[in-house]
Chain A
Amino acid sequence: MRKQGLYDPAFEHDACGVAFVARLDGVRSHETIAQALVALEHMEHRGAAGAEAETGDGAGILVQLPDTFLRSVVDFELPEAGRYGVAVCFLPRSAPRRAELEQLLERTVRAEGQAVLGWRDVPVDRRHAGSQASLFAPTIRQLFVGASSEAGDDPLAFERKLYVIRRVAEREAGPDLVIPSFSARTLVYKGMLTSPQLGRYFTDLADETMTSALALVHSRFSTNTFPSWELAHPYRMIAHNGEINTLRGNVNWIRARESQLASELFGSDSAKLAPIVRPGGSDTAVFDNVLELLVLSGRSLPHALMMMVPEAYGGRADVSDALRGFYRFHECLTEAWDGPAAIAFTDGTLIGATLDRNGLRPGRWLETTDGLVVLASETGVLDIPADRILRKGRLQPGKLFLVDLAQGRIVPDVEAKEEVAARKPYGEWFEREHVRLADLPPRTRAEHRDEPVRLLQLAFGYTQEDMKVMLAPLAVNGEEAIGSMGNDTPLAVLSNRRPLLYSYFKQLFAQVTNPPIDPIREAVVMSVQSLVGSEHNLLAETPAHARQLVIDNPILRDEELESLRQVDSDVFKAHTIDFTWPVAEGVDGLEPALERICAEADAALEEGSNILIVSDRNVGPDRVAMPSLLAVGAIHHHLVRAGTRLQAGLVVESGEPRSVQSVAVLIGYGAAAVNPYLMLATIGQLVDEGRIELDRATAEERALKAVGKGLLKTISKMGISTLSSYCGAQVFEAVGLSNELVDRHFTGTPSRIGGIGTGELAEGALTRHARAYPGNAGELLPVVGLYAWRRDGEHHQWNPETIALLQHAVRGGGRSTYEQFAAAVNDDSARRSTLRGLLRFRTAGDGGIPLDDVEPASEIVKRFSTGAMSLGSLSREAHETLAVAMNRIGGRSNTGEGGEDPERYLDERRSKIKQVASGRFGVNIDYLTNADEIQIKMAQGAKPGEGGQLPGHKVDAYIAGVRFTTPGVGLISPPPHHDIYSIEDLKQLIYDLRCANPGARISVKLVSEVGVGTVAAGVAKCNADHILISGHDGGTGASPISSILHAGVPWEIGLAETQQTLVLNGLRSRVWVQTDGQLKTGRDVVVAALLGADEMGFATAPLIATGCVMMRACHLNTCPVGIATQDPELRRRFTGQPEHVIEFFFHVAEDVREIMASLGIARFEDLVGRVDLLEADGALVHWQTRGIDLSNVLRIPDVPEGTPLRRTEAQVSPILHALDWRLIEAAAPALDDDTPVEATFAVRNVDRTVGGLLSHQVAKRRGRAGLPPGSVRFELRGSAGQSFGAWLAPGIELTLVGDANDYVGKGLSGGVVAVRPPGDAAYRAEENVIVGNTVLYGATSGRAFFRGVAGERFAVRNSGALAVVEGLGDHGCEYMTGGRVVVIGPTGRNFAAGMSGGIAYVLDDDRFAARCNTQLVALEPLEEADEIVVRSLLDEHVARTGSPVADALLADWDPARFTKVIPHDYKRALAVHGEARYSDQPISTGGGGFFTKESEEAA
């Protein structure tokens, strides 16, 4: 499907399950293939189907070229194996075109000196493909190519030739010709199939003579269902689970490198290779393209992967010098391909997998005693008896898992890497050749013209607020300023203020298909290092490649910039390009200036410069600066197009940047470093004037650090961990820039509503310049009211007038006052501030229908919800007022992410929507069971891609009780859900939540950004019932100001994109769509409905109805009206009543009815999706003059008449065949009359969330107390699927004999989980992996025992469970707030990051201290009380799992072998409040820490 409206296939995401089977002895067999297909089938739940269940998103298999089989099926002679290759071709079904392409291929083969041997039709059984898939199925043929005699003995030489043939033919043929594989070594079968269909569709795969010693399979989950056979995996060398976040930058850089590519191996063929990247490919396809090139040009497969997906080596003692040298050297060659990725790879002899540095995808492997190696996204995909298993493991962050069939063994990560690292003296080369900026001699500015700072500030549009709100906090606190509430100012393009160009760029962020990162708690993976210099041929490696200037912090001080500018070296040569233009030339001067700077860049490169400093230092009375971002974008893209970009690094010297956003955008568009000289001078001025009570150096230092931190936060929002990968990655969406401008200077950036061009930018620059010149150096800076309303400043939708009118309307003013309010919001200046303001209704020509015919307001208000505002961010009084109001009108309120007081579950204070956010605060089985709707918050409009923090002073006893945490201890919400790194993970969480409450509807909250429509389609395919598209302008209790202002886009765009994508995909009928973001009036509601929303959410407006006055002090706990505070004194000032909220919603609904009448529509549901009833308002000239084009937003999807535009049917329940129904049956005696039960069941990896539905039954019948201990004791045998024991309720004990996948004990709510290997296992449990990643995530109480090693992020966000484990991966006990964890084996890195509560007891192997993140915790010896806890848990561990390790520890008890890990704050809180009250009871009932009103008063 082609791009139409807001839908663009470029934003599709995919993820999946991946597996391979390999025989170490290299013996080819059909069994290997058959086993791989079985494994594939057992991962079907990781893939997805679209609107039609039988059409899969893609499945495929890669095998060794099956020589015997192929000989038996072709009717022509084949040379010996290795001397011929097979091109698998997807050809058009149209015969003439197919013939053309076949001739093209044959012609190319011959032209490249090889022999065409013949064609074979690949037989397929069309019954085993869905109808959609069949409709688009290509004709699949294999072309056999014989090697010419010249090819010689190097087997790779022939592979290279085949590669060249493919590149040449592909380029000439365009998108019609797809060649999934073309090799003498491997063969691929793939298509738009479900996992079970693959083996049946391709009948070859069933042929017993088809043999291979390895097989790589993949099951795909795409975020939408547009047919594509090409995008199925495996590709030629890899299959991938995850997503490359930095793709756009990687592609740009590869494109820039093409002109330099030269390989001795390819010789004269080098010229035929470009473009390296096939257009239209997915992230995986592009990665495969580059990997293939690197390997064919002489690097080994491990080598190439170590270049592209380097591990995080910074600050690690366990990385050898040689390896460190390798990474450093290769950083000079290429930036990392960053993002969550489990990449399985093979060249036919080596097969293996690697994981990104963050370890964000699962991978489990095992080796059998008879030489079989199985790796898969999940354990248990093949039935292998325990006594045949030699060892088990998991993929680890940044580690290679490598199987070499030639050597017949698994090659350890270290061995493989050291071998590669030893190939050349990379470290020496790097040390010798690179130059550190810090080592350059300091320089002062040569020509010094001191323009008064104040004039420069005026010329660059500085405001008083910039000083006060942005800059001073940077310098004082070393942190970006924090704000609260949402952004209610106009988009840059709609503002009359002429905002700087930076503010037209909206930061993209990770949601669902990839996770954001926590740059503070997971600093180990982050890096802001930047390199400047010329790059050399990617395909070669010489010492000269390391001739790069290394910059530790990309924000340069003036002296550092001078060091660069005056660099005295035979390697580096800097050239400064002045991007100012003469004021006298006026607006017309900008275009020539752009041409001049590009030409100057060309000339500088000609002369051998390799550092280009673009500068506006020449600003003065006669010269005006263009936006620095325009200068950078123009030169960057000009050089990319010219193929010379890599000859130099770009450095910006500008007075304009002064915020995290401005620096981030400059780097995102190609700058390697930025010298914000005016920002630094201004900070100096603030120091001199005594406004900052620091010395200049400290202030500057802190400000630079703060911007660096802000940058990390910005890049981590997108899931990117290194600045060098972010450089040029363009992870922005432009809103309000003309396509012409974007295409030329910001090529590849999405820009969907048109907007201003260079003319307007020039006018803006000149206007600012005119404020400064001729000028007065004593003049005050303007106050523009961007952050807080000012009368003559920027327009705010919430201003004294609208706030007062709304409050008066609901406090006796009545309908007429509401109408004044609505008029103030909807009209005139207000209409200039939002996109919806630019639209108007196409009212019915006949005057519509009588108002009485329109459905009553009491029905309409049921579609309204209040926003997710947590108890904690809001006071109890405010939170309950909203809930009561919504219950009384039949709408819905939302708990927010802070849990809910169980006392409220059954009365009118309950919130129907229970939110599940990344912190999982207050989420247990009882909470979930009492929901009408469970909302998974993927992102928040005000700060998408970020986590949150509730400072300790806001966590009083009540709040702590509701959240199952400790009073006074601050709480951290991680940026990602640690069980959602990818779309199939979301599918799993939805499944988990369905089990926790089968009656609730499951909602997923997304934030509007480019591509949100395809994400929403993926969410619909994940079986969600409800999708919320939030606007960027939503509120917050506390966020960095750059996030509030610069991340995300308006809901109008996101909603329209979502509606169009869902309708085009045939998915719209299955889901409700809701939108929110600064909705205020009936007009807003109707626009939202017409653009596709069934329901609407409101947050700020109802808060204002209850008395909020937009203080924007939510983050300070000083809310003077008692809403966003926990201060008892201030809470008493709250005067809001449910009636105020109810009155507001009824006014809105009546307003809606009047509009409906005028549109001639009686029922609200008939409004939904009727975009034809909207049009751009031609009367508003200002936006036309700014080039805004809303036709994409108003696009009517091209679908047949009658295609549903709203939800008309339910999702098919995925839980009908769950194992739990049998568990519930067996548990009946316990559930009905407390008779304890015991039973045994078989389990396998397709049985997911075992215990979830059962726990729901317990919670439903018994509430939070659950069943008496030991009521239900089940033993399960086998490999359990994901989320084993999730939400387990009190009284349930599950013992798994076997192993388990990710998310064991997720949200554990009082039950007991134990996992141990079978008695006959051939391996030692404590040395092998038994449970996967993210175990006990968000557990609130209960106990868990694991006899074996766990994966990454064990006990992440545990708030009450007690656990014993025999070893774990990286990031253990991250963000933990309560509970006890005993570790009796090795721990990975970054243990206890963000841990603010609970205690861990770790068996110390002397390396522990180095692996522990001690930002928040202390390491101490055990006290007597600790010993009692540890010993009793170990006793139970022995009892439940038979662990010999624990047994030995107890037998030879020595507390000194353990280290106690306790957070400082937690320790303090325990000391203040007493151990007894807050300690976790050995058997918690899932509410033990809860404080009722009485107990709070007693306190």
Chain B
Amino acid sequence: MGRIGAFLKVGRTEAPERPPAERVADYHEFVGTLPLTELREQAARCMECGVPFCHHGCPLGNLIPDWNDLVYRDRFDEAIQQLHRTNNFPEFTGRLCPAPCEAACVLEINEGNAVSIKQVELAIIDRAWDEGWVVPQPAAQKTGRSVAVVGSGPAGLACAQQLQRAGEDVVVYERDEAAGGLIRFGVPEFKIEKRLVERRVQQLAAEGVEFRFGVNVGVDVTAAELQARHRAVVLATGSRIPRDLPVPGRDLVGIHFAMDYLYDRARAVAGTASGGISAAGKHVVVIGGGDTGADCVGHAHREGAASVTQIELLGTPPPSRPDDLTPWPLWPMKLRTSYALKEGGERQFAISTTHFSGANGTVEAIHWQENTGTPPFELVPGTAESRPAELVLLALGFLGPEVELLDQLQVERDARGNAAAARYLTSADGVFAAGDVRRGQSLIVWAINEGRQCAESVRAWLDAEGRSERPNAFVSIATTGTSE
């Protein structure tokens, strides 16, 4: 259980980052982990709580106290076993997860003191890869059943890996040219280098998962064909319809959805495509204060934008955890400054975009006015302002999944437009859904968790084949834990 009382003597240390001035000059990752001796001291701070809120705060239910202790005791080989028990892709989450576990850490009751869980996680998996401990784990026995997974984001990959290891034959259909979904194309290289994604994909392939890239299910393969080929189908197609900003001037050239920009940049960095949307030399305005927005800002810096401004509709959050709104152990709605803003650029809160203007059909300026910061965001008189804007990126989140395939499969939707699948089985026979397509846009940890649990449901459903009690809307008894 860590070292008794260590949290009183050792302070929290954040993961080391390369200096902003240095990192904006390249596309390599900029966040590292502490040297192992220091890292183990960080792990020693874990108190192995009687009620580990971190473990509850983690959507995956990572056994955080257990592997913290193992790291403290320098048993990385076991730590990775524990970590992989709940998390197929710790190298993804250790880089990309916002770490609700740390927000829920008991030490975080004193804000800013949480155990550096995310860093420990990352150190475990990076070391495991380095040491060669991560190897393919093909199933000992095969069931001979075939399952299709549509989409190769974290939900699809997790589901595929779980099913394959359990003995099913999994085929992953991916419309893009490589696997990983948003992790591959949405998240910048400097947050996760794509070789790491590919390395994991290769593990799946070595375990027997078959990947079919460039296949757009519903177009290249019809839903009916898919169902005919496979005993079950898992939809993990994400929640990819972006929210738009319908203000005057929206049609001007130079206003893009953030994800289009990020995909273009990802391909450019990977060298698989050139051209596309670029921020180089431009006045860039990013609308939306979230992670996607930050990634746009980060890319814009690296491209050499003339200026970068990020604006957010909501007002400035409080600087520290607001106990009346989001008390511990909830995720605190507080002011956070993204890595990208540390690299430069300007940020403004409580901004309502009123319109864009430009010449020759190309955007040149954005016009905004301050608002009250809270719904219904009434405009504050006398605050109208304009800024030059040659590239406007809309990072306003996602509305829901693309519907064509769902419609083809006749999958019922819930009130928010997501695939309705209480226990991962949809209304369509043998069709399951996992990840953002089922729960709406969310965190990578939720995606992996959904993929894992969906795999359990698929297996239980397949096992019940031929039994009279196999229900249409299957309620799995085998799923573990609480998924929401």
Taking beta carbons and an 8 Å cutoff, which residues of A are in contact with B?
A: 464, 485, 780, 783, 787-792, 796, 798-801, 803-804, 807-808, 811-812, 1107, 1109-1113, 1116, 1118, 1120-1121, 1127, 1129-1130, 1133
The smallest beta-carbon distance between A816 and chain B, in angstroms, is: 15
Q: Decide if B50 touches A1118 in the complex (CB within 8 Å).
A: no
The smallest beta-carbon distance between B468 and chain A, in angstroms, is: 21
Across the interface, which residues of B come within 8 angstroms of A808, CB to CB?
Answer: 327
Selected contact of B47 from candidates A789, A796, A1118, A1127, CB within 8 Å: A1118
Q: Can you name 27 A-B pairs with beta carbons within 8 Å?
A: A780-B85, A783-B63, A783-B66, A787-B50, A788-B48, A788-B65, A789-B50, A791-B56, A791-B61, A798-B51, A799-B51, A799-B56, A800-B51, A800-B104, A800-B329, A804-B330, A808-B327, A812-B324, A1107-B109, A1110-B50, A1111-B49, A1111-B51, A1111-B106, A1112-B51, A1113-B47, A1120-B107, A1133-B110
Q: Decide if B323 touches A811 in the complex (CB within 8 Å).
A: yes
Q: Tell whether B386 is near chain A: CB-to-CB under 8 Å.
A: no
Across the interface, which residues of B come within 8 angstroms of A807, CB to CB?
Answer: 327
User: Nearest B residue to A801 by beta-carbon distance?
Assistant: B56
User: Nearest B residue to A798 by beta-carbon distance?
Assistant: B51
The smallest beta-carbon distance between A487 and chain B, in angstroms, is: 11
Q: Decide if B107 touches A791 in the complex (CB within 8 Å).
A: no
Instruction: Give Cα distance in the complex from A800 to B327, angstroms.
Output: 13
Q: Decide if A1120 touches B5 in the complex (CB within 8 Å).
A: no
Q: Tell whether B7 is near chain A: CB-to-CB under 8 Å.
A: yes
- Given A808-B327, A811-B323, A1109-B109, CB of A1116 within 8 Å of CB of B51: no
Q: Tell whether B369 is near chain A: CB-to-CB under 8 Å.
A: no
User: Nearest B residue to A1129 by beta-carbon distance?
Assistant: B8
Instruction: Give Cα distance in the complex from A790 to B480, angstroms.
Output: 12
Across the interface, which residues of A come within 8 angstroms of B417, CB to CB?
Answer: none
Q: Tell whether B265 is near chain A: CB-to-CB under 8 Å.
A: no
- Given A780-B82, A789-B52, CB of A1120 within 8 Å of CB of B109: yes
Instruction: Give Cα distance in the complex from A925 to B81, angstroms.
Output: 61
The smallest beta-carbon distance between A150 and chain B, in angstroms, is: 76
Instruction: Give Cα distance in the complex from A391 to B324, angstroms.
Output: 78
- Given A804-B329, A1133-B110, CB of A790 within 8 Å of CB of B49: no
Q: Tell whether B482 is near chain A: CB-to-CB under 8 Å.
A: yes
Q: Tell whether B72 is near chain A: CB-to-CB under 8 Å.
A: no
Which B residues between 177 and 191 are near A, CB-CB below 8 angstroms?
none
Q: Tell whether B53 is near chain A: CB-to-CB under 8 Å.
A: yes
B322-344 vs A, CB cutoff 8 Å, 1 = contact: the mask equals 01100111100000000000000
Across the interface, which residues of B come within 8 angstroms of A800, CB to CB?
Answer: 51-53, 56-57, 104, 329
Which B residues between 1 and 41 are near A, CB-CB below 8 angstroms?
4-5, 7-8
Instruction: Give Cα distance in the complex from A789 to B106, angstroms.
Output: 14
Instruction: Give Cα distance in the complex from A800 to B105, angstroms.
Output: 11
Across the interface, which residues of B come within 8 angstroms of A789, CB to CB?
Answer: 50-52, 55-56
Across the interface, which residues of A come within 8 angstroms of B107, CB to CB?
Answer: 1120
Q: Decide if B8 touches A1118 in the complex (CB within 8 Å).
A: yes
Q: Decide if B329 touches A792 in the complex (CB within 8 Å).
A: no
User: Nearest B residue to A811 by beta-carbon distance?
Assistant: B327
Selected contact of A1120 from candidates B47, B63, B323, B327, CB within 8 Å: B47
Instruction: Give Cα distance in the complex from A1109 to B47, angstroms.
Output: 12
Given contacts A800-B57, A808-B327, A1110-B49, 16 further A-B contacts (CB under 8 A): A780-B82, A780-B85, A783-B66, A788-B48, A788-B50, A788-B51, A789-B51, A790-B61, A791-B61, A799-B51, A800-B104, A804-B329, A1109-B106, A1111-B106, A1121-B109, A1133-B109
Q: Tell whether B481 is near chain A: CB-to-CB under 8 Å.
A: yes
Q: Decide if B4 touches A1120 in the complex (CB within 8 Å).
A: no
Q: Decide if B50 touches A1111 in the complex (CB within 8 Å).
A: yes
Across the interface, which residues of B come within 8 angstroms of A780, CB to CB?
Answer: 81-82, 85
Across the interface, which residues of A come within 8 angstroms of B51, CB to CB?
Answer: 788-789, 796, 798-800, 803, 1109-1112
The smallest beta-carbon distance between B57 and chain A, in angstroms, is: 8
Across the interface, which residues of A come within 8 angstroms of B85, CB to CB?
Answer: 780
For chain B, the bracket of interface size reads 35 or more
Closest 7 CB pairs of A and B: A1112-B50, A800-B56, A791-B61, A1110-B51, A792-B481, A1110-B50, A792-B480
Q: Decide if A1109 touches B8 in the complex (CB within 8 Å).
A: no
User: Nearest A residue to B329 by beta-carbon distance?
Assistant: A804
Q: Is the interface of B mostly helix, strand, loop or mixed?
A: loop
Q: Decide if B61 touches A792 in the complex (CB within 8 Å).
A: yes
Across the interface, which residues of B come within 8 angstroms of A1116, CB to CB?
Answer: 4-5
User: Nearest A residue to B5 by beta-carbon distance?
Assistant: A1118
Across the interface, which residues of A come within 8 angstroms of B329, CB to CB?
Answer: 800, 804
Instruction: Give Cα distance in the complex from A800 to B58, angstroms.
Output: 12
Residue in B50, B52, B327 with the greatest tally of chain A CB atoms within 10 Å: B50
Across the interface, which residues of B come within 8 angstroms of A791, CB to CB?
Answer: 55-56, 61, 481-482
Selected contact of B55 from candidates A464, A790, A1110, A1113, CB within 8 Å: A790
Across the interface, which residues of B come within 8 angstroms of A464, CB to CB?
Answer: 66
The smallest beta-carbon distance between A1251 and chain B, in angstroms, is: 47
Residue in A791, A804, A1110 with the greatest tally of chain B CB atoms within 10 Å: A791
User: Nearest A residue to B85 by beta-carbon distance?
Assistant: A780
Which B residues between 237 and 265 are near A, CB-CB below 8 angstroms?
none
Instruction: Give Cα distance in the complex from A807 to B65, angstroms.
Output: 23
Across the interface, which residues of A come within 8 angstroms of B50, CB to CB?
Answer: 485, 787-789, 1110-1113
Instruction: Give Cα distance in the complex from A783 to B51, angstroms.
Output: 14
Instruction: Give Cα distance in the complex from A877 to B290, angstroms.
Output: 42
Across the interface, which residues of B come within 8 angstroms of A1133, CB to CB?
Answer: 109-110
User: Nearest A residue to B109 by beta-carbon distance?
Assistant: A1121
The smallest beta-carbon distance between A833 and chain B, in angstroms, is: 15
Q: Decide if A1118 touches B4 in the complex (CB within 8 Å).
A: yes
User: Nearest A residue to B53 by beta-carbon distance?
Assistant: A800
Instruction: Give Cα distance in the complex from A789 to B55, angstroms.
Output: 9
Across the interface, which residues of B come within 8 angstroms of A1110, CB to CB?
Answer: 49-51
Instruction: Give Cα distance in the complex from A788 to B323, angstroms.
Output: 27
Selected contact of A1130 from candidates B8, B49, B53, B324, CB within 8 Å: B8
B110-127 vs A, CB cutoff 8 Å, 1 = contact: the mask equals 100000000000000000
User: Nearest B residue to A779 by beta-carbon distance?
Assistant: B81
User: Nearest A residue to B327 by beta-carbon distance?
Assistant: A808
The smallest beta-carbon distance between B314 and chain A, in angstroms, is: 22
Q: Decide if B61 touches A1120 in the complex (CB within 8 Å).
A: no
The smallest beta-carbon distance between B378 and chain A, in angstroms, is: 26
Q: Decide if A1111 touches B47 in the complex (CB within 8 Å).
A: yes
Which B residues between 445 and 462 are near A, CB-CB below 8 angstroms?
none
User: Nearest A residue to B330 by beta-carbon distance?
Assistant: A804
User: Nearest B residue to A1109 by beta-carbon distance?
Assistant: B106
Q: Decide if A790 touches B63 in the complex (CB within 8 Å).
A: yes
Across the interface, which residues of B come within 8 angstroms of A485, CB to CB?
Answer: 50
Instruction: Give Cα distance in the complex from A811 to B330, angstroms.
Output: 14
User: Nearest B residue to A829 by beta-carbon distance?
Assistant: B482
Across the interface, which residues of B come within 8 angstroms of A1112, CB to CB?
Answer: 49-51
Residue in A803, A804, A1121 with the greatest tally of chain B CB atoms within 10 Å: A804
Instruction: Give Cα distance in the complex from A1300 to B67, angstroms.
Output: 64
User: Nearest A residue to B141 by beta-carbon distance?
Assistant: A774
The smallest beta-carbon distance between B194 and chain A, in angstroms, is: 31
Instruction: Give Cα distance in the complex from A896 to B393, angstroms.
Output: 64
User: Nearest B residue to A793 by beta-carbon distance?
Assistant: B481
The smallest beta-carbon distance between B45 and chain A, in angstroms, is: 11
Across the interface, which residues of A come within 8 angstroms of B55, CB to CB?
Answer: 789-791
Instruction: Give Cα distance in the complex from A800 to B65, angstroms.
Output: 14
The smallest beta-carbon distance between A1039 and chain B, in angstroms, is: 14
Residue in A807, A808, A1130 with the greatest tally of chain B CB atoms within 10 Å: A808
Across the interface, which residues of B come within 8 angstroms of A787, CB to CB?
Answer: 50
The smallest beta-carbon distance between B325 and chain A, in angstroms, is: 9
User: Nearest A residue to B48 by beta-carbon distance?
Assistant: A788
Instruction: Give Cα distance in the complex from A1130 to B110, angstroms.
Output: 11
Residue in B49, B55, B81 with the greatest tally of chain A CB atoms within 10 Å: B49
User: Nearest B residue to A1117 by beta-carbon distance?
Assistant: B5
Across the interface, which residues of A come within 8 angstroms of B104, CB to CB?
Answer: 800
Instruction: Give Cα distance in the complex from A1116 to B52, angstroms.
Output: 17
The smallest beta-carbon distance between A687 and chain B, in angstroms, is: 15
User: Nearest B residue to A787 by beta-carbon distance?
Assistant: B50
The smallest beta-carbon distance between B226 and chain A, in angstroms, is: 32
